[in-house]
Amino acid sequence: MSSLYERIGGEAAVDAAVDVFYRKVLMDDRVNGFFDDVDMDKQIAKQKGFLTMAFGGPNNYTGKDMREGHKHLVARGLNDSHVDAIVELLGETLKELGVADADIQEVANIANGARDDVLNR
């Protein structure tokens, strides 16, 4: 049986999803405040890392990285509602790209699994 990452389409799917996803994030007033001052090249690279992880692909993220990487955002008010919004935008992105509902749910579960580390709880 193929893995989630293979079913979604691997690296090519990450490349296809990153523009759509990042555009949604920048246009969404619930979360775009956290992304305003960030260099767009660096941001795209980070988004690719995030999508690869959420799609169940190869990644080297540790809980500690997640905590360190989001600490300054938690200090600026990052909370559950923002994580909810990101998971929602991720779902919309995958739906547009034609990913099956069951796989979208699995991606959401992986993303939600990082919630406590991201929010430094």
Partner 1 sequence: MAQLKFRDKTYEVGDGATVLDVLLEHGQEVPNSCRAGVCQSCLMQVVEGEVPEQAQKGLKDSYRAKGLFLACSCQPQADLAVSLPDAAQLRVSAEVTGIRPLSEDVMELVLQTDAPFEYQAGQFVTLWRDERLGRSYSIASLPDDDNGLMFHIRKVARGEFSSWVHEDMKPGDRLSVQGPAGDCFYIPGQPDQDILLIGTGTGLAPLLGIVHDALRHGHRGRLQLIHGAQHPSGLYGHETLTALARDHDNLIYHPCVLNAEDEMDAGIRQDTVEGLVKALVPKPAGWKAYLCGDPDLVNKLRKQLFLAGCNMKDINADAFIPSTPADRIG
- Residue 75 CB-half CA count within 13 A: 6
Find, among 54, 52, 53, 51, the residue nearest to 106 by Cα: 54
- Residue closer to partner 1 (CB basis): 44 or 100: 44
Binding of partner 1 at residue 26 (CB under 8 A)? Answer: yes
Binding mask 28-67 for partner 1 (x = CB under 8 A): ------------x---x-----------------------
Binding of partner 1 at residue 23 (CB under 8 A)? Answer: yes
Q: In the structure, how many helices (H) and strands (E) does the chain have?
A: 7, 0
Stretch that binds partner 1, among 16-24, 49-57, 78-86, 94-102 (CB under 8 A): 16-24
**In the structure encoding, which two tokens stand for residue 100, read together?**
């099956």
- Burial group, residue 10, by CB count within 10 angstroms (0-12, 13-18, 19+): middle
Binding of partner 1 at residue 96 (CB under 8 A)? Answer: no
> Minimum distance from CB of 80 to partner 1 (Å)?
27
| Distances in whole angstroms, Cα of residue 56 to Cα of each of 17, 33, 38, 90 | 14, 28, 26, 14
Stretch that binds partner 1, among 5-13, 22-30, 76-84, 88-96 (CB under 8 A): 22-30
Binding site for partner 1 (CB under 8 A): 18-19, 22-23, 26-27, 40, 44
